[in-house]
Structure formats: C-alpha cells, structure tokens
C-alpha cells in the first residue's frame, strides 16, 4: 500500500498507535460502549502516515499542503462528501486536493477501496463529523505529523503521537496519574474525567483553549493563574500594574457558570472560543497576564519580580508526557529566556499559582509547584497542543 520511498518512522510508530487504539476500544467495551469506528492494523497506519509525510514535503503552487486524514468508512460518516472516483492514497494526489480541505474541521476520508487490488487504501471524499475513536493523521508543518484520536465531542481530539522527521514522540497516558499532575495536563491527555473522550459536548476546557490560543498567536506570552479572593500574588509583581483591569473582566467566568443545557449549544461554545482568543491575545503584550482560577482577568502586561525575602529559584524539575521521558533537574534558564525564569520564580514564591508559558518557537511549558518534589515542576506540553 506504500507508494514511493518508505518513511522509517511510520513503520516504527505504527504498532504503538495500533496498541493505543486497541486499548481504548477495549476500555469502551468494558464501559458498555460500542466503538463506532473500525480499528486499523499496523499496515494501514503505516501507509497513511507515510503518504501524509511525503505529501507534507511537497508544494502546490508554492503553498505548503495542510491536510488531515481520517480512517473512516464512508457508510459510517455522517453527511459525507463522496468523490465519484476515489483518489489514490499517494503524496501527489493529496497535494492536489489539499487546497480544498485546508480549513480546520475538514478531513479527507480514507478507507479500503473494494474496487482496487488487495483492498488498497483510497481517499473516498471529505468528512467533518468524525466517529469517536477514529484515527486521524494531520500535517502540522513540513515533515511534522500528529496522530490523534477523536474524543467524540465536536472539534476535540487527543494526541497519540508526534512525528517530526526521524523523531517520534509517543504520548505517555500514564503521565495523568502521576502525583502533582496539574489539571491542565490531565485535560490535555484526555483524562480529566472518567470516559471523558466519549462524553457528550458538555463543556470546553477553558485552560486548554487558552493554551492553544496562546501558542497560536506566535508571539510568546505568560498567563499566571492565581487564587481568587487573594492579593498575595501582587507581592511577586512590580507595582504599579501597567494594565490593571478594574473591575475584573469576568466574561469567561460567567460563561463557565452557565447551566449544562446552555453549554451544549453551539452559540455558547463559540462565545467561549471568541472570549478565550480575546484573553489569549493579551498575553502577546510584554509582561504577564494574570487571571484567577475561576477565570476572572485582573491584569496584563505585569512585570514579575522575586518576592521580598524569597530565595532565587535555582532548580526546577522538567518532564514531558512522552514515552521514555526521564525527569531532569535543570536551572530555569535552560528551558528558555526571561519568561521561563520569571515564571518559575513566580510559582516558587506563589505556590498555589500555575504559570502557562508560550515560546515564540512553539514550545509550551506549564509551571506548577510540586509538594512531592518540594520544587517547581516544569511540564513541557507542546506535543499535546499540536
């Protein structure tokens, strides 16, 4: 099924991807759910990744192809757009069709072509609504692919693996059960509640959306999450605040308190996304944006300073939720520049706070105090945000 030179990383990661989907399928069956998508075998996964990789390195009239391939049977896809003649799963065919499907939320449907020899894979059309537990391979950039599965909620996916050239990062789901795991990391891994990835469209995780939006604007930024009803965080901020928000901007907080029935509506979800983008845009301003844990915005452009009497932070533990990762203890400056150092200091001094740090190069770090380690823990999570 592979056309052209083989992509070695595809063969390496395919069995791990299959094992991931098989495990989640069994979990769904044990909960009494019936998976709505057929599981691919390793050859299928390898073929889809291989075709997507080589397509990502091509150009169509100087444009970089951005495509998303979903392994879904045409008869299980709601409201599919069907091609009269399926396209071959080849880099050339994918690049040609890419301009029609580059908008977010549109996927190319891939399935076995019964008319072809040996049931070769083919692109049968496009799909927007994907069944839960469907494998998706997305081209994020030239040579950069993300393997995902659908959580059963509109627009919600969980990353399974990230491939960049010959580098393969397989997400470690066990990271969500580690001591001191921040709720944001748990949500990004898809385990913020039992069976969350097959739950109905009850809510949008605000912090996850903020992290994605912060990373998307590409300017870098810091978002400090502090306890509501306390001004202790101001001991770690240079006064006066250049952009204090009075009264606190509470639109996200109000939206988050709406009843469940309203939170299921598209209007509510679009309101959350618009408001999240507005707040995340403030993080592009030099300095830190400050928001309470109940989502009230109180300041932006704030300058972080070491709290009076507090020692300089010298070490942090850094981990990444990928298989084979080994925790390291490093100086905060090894993680980045001033943003990372000041954010680590803030969390060191304000131990009930969390700092979200986006770098201009796409890296994303969550700083949180670890009681188990008695130091600041830096969680590298950019592989979960692609």
Spatial CB neighbours of 51, under 8 Å, sequence gap ≥ 6:
2, 3, 69, 89, 90, 91, 94
Annotate 118-137 with b (16+ C-beta within 10 A) or e (fewer): eebbbbbbbbbebbbbbbbb
User: For residue 228, what is the DSSP state?
Assistant: T
What does the pLDDT average to over 131-154?
85
Q: What is the mean pLDDT of the chain?
A: 87
Which pLDDT value is given to residue 77?
A: 81
Residue 154 — pLDDT band, cuts 50, 70, 90?
Answer: low
| Residue 3 phi, psi dihedral angles, 5° rounding | -110, 125
CA distance 91 to 193: 39
CA distance 137 to 109: 11
Lowest-confidence pick of 34-38, 243-247, 313-317: 34-38
Q: Structure tokens of 69?
A: 């391939």
Q: What is the pLDDT of residues 330-348, one digit of tens each?
A: 999 999 889 999 999 999 9
Q: Which residue has the higher pLDDT, 297 or 27?
A: 297
Which pLDDT value is given to residue 220?
A: 95
Residue 134 — pLDDT band, cuts 50, 70, 90?
Answer: confident
Residue 199 has pLDDT above 50, yes or no: no
Which pLDDT value is given to residue 27?
A: 75
Decide if 126 is inside a domain: yes
270 and 140, same structural domain? no
What CATH number is given to the structural domain containing 375? 3.40.1700.10
Give yes or no for a contact between 343 and 357, defined as CB atoms under 8 angstroms apart.
yes
What does the pLDDT average to over 120-146?
91
210 and 114, same structural domain? no
Which pLDDT value is given to residue 279?
A: 96
210 and 140, same structural domain? no
What does the pLDDT average to over 278-304?
96
Residue 327 has pLDDT above 50, yes or no: yes
230 and 161, same structural domain? no
Nearest to 291 by CA among 218, 362, 214: 214
Give yes or no for a contact between 238 and 302, defined as CB atoms under 8 angstroms apart.
yes
Decide if 180 is inside a domain: no
Q: Which residue has the higher pLDDT, 114 or 276?
A: 276
CA distance 374 to 386: 31
DSSP string, 34-65: --SSPPP-HHHHHHHHHHHHHHHT--BTTBPP
Laid out side by side, the sheet with 135-141 consists of: 81-88, 121-127, 107-112, 68-71, 135-141, 144-150, 157-164, 167-170
Q: Which of 112, 146, 170 is the last residue of a domain?
A: 170
User: For residue 226, what is the DSSP state?
Assistant: E
Helix (H) / strand (E) containing 16: helix 8-30
Decide if 359 is inside a domain: yes
Residue 152 — pLDDT band, cuts 50, 70, 90?
Answer: low
| Residue 339 phi, psi dihedral angles, 5° rounding | -55, -45
137 and 221, same structural domain? no
166 and 213, same structural domain? no
Q: Which domain holds residue 355?
A: 206-385
252 and 357, same structural domain? yes
Q: Which residue has the higher pLDDT, 171 or 63?
A: 171
129 and 65, same structural domain? yes
Give yes or no for a contact between 345 and 222, defined as CB atoms under 8 angstroms apart.
no
Spatial CB neighbours of 84, under 8 Å, sequence gap ≥ 6:
none
Which pLDDT value is given to residue 278?
A: 96
Residue 268 has pLDDT above 60, yes or no: yes
For the chain, percent of residues with pLDDT exceeding 90: 60
CA distance 206 to 257: 12
What does the pLDDT average to over 34-61?
85
Decide if 339 is inside a domain: yes
Lowest-confidence pick of 34-38, 69-73, 371-375: 34-38
Number of domains into which the chain is organized: 2
Residue 161 has pLDDT above 80, yes or no: yes
Q: Which of 143, 170, 197 is the last residue of a domain?
A: 170
Question: Chain-centre distance of CA 369, in angstroms?
Answer: 22
Lowest-confidence pick of 164-168, 262-266, 300-304: 262-266
164 and 211, same structural domain? no
Lowest-confidence pick of 153-157, 293-297, 350-354: 153-157
- Residue in this structure with the two tokens 């056309």, named with its chain if needed: 3
Which pLDDT value is given to residue 36?
A: 56
CA distance 37 to 341: 45
CA distance 382 to 98: 25
Decide if 184 is inside a domain: no
305 and 379, same structural domain? yes
What does the pLDDT average to over 300-328?
93
Q: What is the pLDDT of residues 5-25, one digit of tens each?
A: 689 999 999 999 999 888 888
């Amino acid at each position: 099924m592979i056309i052209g030179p083989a992509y070695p990383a595809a063969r390496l990661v395919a069995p791990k991807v299959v094992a991931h989907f098989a495990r989640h399928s069994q979990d769904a069956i044990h909960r009494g759910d019936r998976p709505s998508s057929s599981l691919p075998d390793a050859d299928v996964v390898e073929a889809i990744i291989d075709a997507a990789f080589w397509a990502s390195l091509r150009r169509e009239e100087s444009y970089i192809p951005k495509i998303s391939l979903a392994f879904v049977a045409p008869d299980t896809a709601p409201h599919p757009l069907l091609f009269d003649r399926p396209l071959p799963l080849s880099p050339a065919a994918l690049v040609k069709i890419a301009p029609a499907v580059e908008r977010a939320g549109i996927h190319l449907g891939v399935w076995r072509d019964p008319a072809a020899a040996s049931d070769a894979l083919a692109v049968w059309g496009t799909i927007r609504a994907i069944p839960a537990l469907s494998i998706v391979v997305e081209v994020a950039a030239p040579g950069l692919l993300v393997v995902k599965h659908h959580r059963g909620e509109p627009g919600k996916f969980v990353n399974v693996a990230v491939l960049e050239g010959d580098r393969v990062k397989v997400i470690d789901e066990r990271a969500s059960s580690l001591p001191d795991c921040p709720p944001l990391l748990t949500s990004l891994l898809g385990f913020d509640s039992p069976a969350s990835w097959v739950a109905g469209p009850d809510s949008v995780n605000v912090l996850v959306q903020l992290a994605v939006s912060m990373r998307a604007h590409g300017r870098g930024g810091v978002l400090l999450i502090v306890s509501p009803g306390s001004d202790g965080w101001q001991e770690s901020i240079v006064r006066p605040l250049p952009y204090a928000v009075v009264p606190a901007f509470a639109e996200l907080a109000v939206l988050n308190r709406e009843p469940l029935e309203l939170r299921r509506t598209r209007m509510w979800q679009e309101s959350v996304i618009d408001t999240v983008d507005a707040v995340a845009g403030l993080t592009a301003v030099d300095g830190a944006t400050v928001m309470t844990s109940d989502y009230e915005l109180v300041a932006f452009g704030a300058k972080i300073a070491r709290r009076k009497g507090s020692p300089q932070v010298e070490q942090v533990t850094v981990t990444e939720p990928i298989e084979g990762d080994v925790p390291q203890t490093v100086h905060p400056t090894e993680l980045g520049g001033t943003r990372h150092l000041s954010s680590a200091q803030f969390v060191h001094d304000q131990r009930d706070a969390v700092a979200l740090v986006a770098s201009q190069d796409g890296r994303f770090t969550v700083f949180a105090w670890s009681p188990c380690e008695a130091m600041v823990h830096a969680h590298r999570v950019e592989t979960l945000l692609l």
